[in-house]
Structure 1
Amino acid sequence: MSSSMLRTRRLSKDNTYLELKQKIIDNELKPGQNVHEESLAALLGVSRTPLREAIQRLENEDFLVRQPNGRLKVAPVTLEELEEIFLVRGMLEGHIAKNAAKNATPQDIQHMTAMVEKTNQSLHLGSDKDALPFGFEFHDYLSEISGLHTFERILSQLRDHTLRYCRYVSLHGEWNSQAYEEHSLILQRIVDRDEEGAEKVMQDHIYNSLSTALKRLKAVDETRKD
């Protein structure tokens, strides 16, 4: 097999995996929904081979769950998982913000200021959905400039699960706009080179977001019970 054919196969596998994961993150495939290979293959327009490899990867990442009867379903969203994800993020991202306050260059600060402004512009235009990626971009950039590579690697593994929960919560009401205002506070601490302050504001930011998300998820659960 030629190198170009191998490269095409690899791209096909990766694209199938990424497309399927994105549909789970965006809640196009809903939490707890039963899924079948035939319908997924038709939805994505792919053959069974790349689909099965994508499914295996997403099972390993806990986006898909294999039931005792062998059937597949989209992983549910739970209060317990939500809390664990955000508590781990709070511990890691506090240290990241602290190091970012120490390492940030004037160019970094200029770049982060633009990110915060883009987020605020999206919110003023009433587009909470568009603001969410800018918020994640801000957090990702802090991780990058912190120099804490192990922290960054662990957070990257949590990122898509976090985004899934944020998108799910946003479907049931606006995301807490205060969360984006807190980005401005974090940035100000970084500009001031206030390492301890940056750590505390970041942790407060993560735990405030957790509190909002838990309340929203509990309300959704209560509505379903009714």
Structure 2
Amino acid sequence: MMRSRRLSKDNAYYELKQKIIDSELKPNQAVNEENLAALLGVSRTPLREAIQRLENEDFLVRQPNGRLKVASITVKEVEEVFLVRSMLEGYIARNAAKNATDKDIQKLTVILENIKQSFQLGDNQNFVSYGFEFHDYLSEMSELIVFEKVLNQLRDHALRYCRFVSLHGDWTRQADEEHGLILQMIADRNEDGAEKAMRDHIISSLSIALERIRGIEE
């Protein structure tokens, strides 16, 4: 019994988080336990634990009146998330270039093909998914355990912003080309170049995100 309860608690957490990341539950949307339980098809107990985890992670916000809402999307938060990512992931790319095997380069090349294809098809959500797969694989290659842990706390917030941006317009060719440059630097085992290419890429993604969010706010 314990096992299935744990499973339903985790499922409730992952499903609810996914709906927030994908903007199925929109920023600032008021939510309540009853509706969420019905939406996820779970009972109140696992739902409450899921809600608590998501409050701790700042995906759900408890208002002064005790009501729940989905966390808003703010310029300040997107700036902080992407700036921290640029520092961490720059160093991760540097280490990935140092550790890269031929097999890693092949794997990254396949992911890059998927990124390119989804970009050409205008498939924004897959473009984001493959982009994150690329970044996640570099994290693995870097073998920087603490960096990866810290990055994981930010990852889903960054993913939420990227998905949100994708719902409100296309990514640019520049974002597509930047992944190619990062891979080139890693394939060349150019550690400085990989770090710089990654930092530049995340900062330019930030400027696209800011433009969209400001556009929507207006």
TM-score by length of 2: 0.98
1:14-67, Cα deviation, whole Å (9 max, x unpaired): 000000000000001100011011111111111101100000000000000000
Q: Name the SS for the 2:69 alignment partner.
A: strand
1:6 pairs with 2:16 = no
Q: List aligned pairs for 1:118-157, cutoff 5 A.
A: 118-157=114-153
- Whether contact under 8 Å (1:66, 1:72) holds in the other structure is yes
Q: List alignment gaps of at least 5 residues for structure 2.
A: none
1:61 pairs with 2:44 = no
**In 2, Cα distance between equivalents of 1:86 and 1:34:** 27
Aligned-pair RMSD on alpha carbons? Answer: 0.8
Partner of 1:111: 107
CA-CA distance at 1:176 after TM superposition: 2.8
Partner of 2:204: 208
CA-CA distance at 1:175 after TM superposition: 2.1
Q: List aligned pairs for 1:79-94, cutoff 5 A.
A: 79-94=75-90
**In 2, Cα distance between equivalents of 1:112 and 1:32:** 37
1:180 pairs with 2:180 = no
CA-CA distance at 1:177 after TM superposition: 3.3
**In 2, Cα distance between equivalents of 1:76 and 1:103:** 39
Paired amino acid for 2:79? E
Q: List alignment gaps of at least 5 residues for structure 1.
A: none
**In 1, Cα distance between equivalents of 2:75 and 2:172:** 18
CA-CA distance at 1:125 after TM superposition: 1.9
Q: 1:32 aligns with which of 28, 33, 41?
A: 28
Paired amino acid for 2:24? E
Paired amino acid for 2:5? R
CA-CA distance at 1:148 after TM superposition: 1.0
**In 1, Cα distance between equivalents of 2:123 and 2:66:** 40
Q: Name the SS for the 1:65 alignment partner.
A: strand
CA-CA distance at 1:129 after TM superposition: 1.3
Q: 2:214 aligns with which of 215, 218, 221?
A: 218
Q: 2:160 aligns with which of 134, 148, 164?
A: 164
**In 2, Cα distance between equivalents of 1:92 and 1:131:** 22
**In 2, Cα distance between equivalents of 1:202 and 1:50:** 39
**In 2, Cα distance between equivalents of 1:52 and 1:177:** 43
| Identity level (%) | 69
Paired amino acid for 1:206? I
Paired amino acid for 2:203? Y
1:56-79, Cα deviation, whole Å (9 max, x unpaired): 000000000000010000000000
1:88-137, Cα deviation, whole Å (9 max, x unpaired): 00000110111111001000000000000011111222212111110000
Paired amino acid for 2:74? T
TM-score by length of 1: 0.95
- Whether contact under 8 Å (2:98, 2:191) holds in the other structure is yes
Paired amino acid for 1:113? T
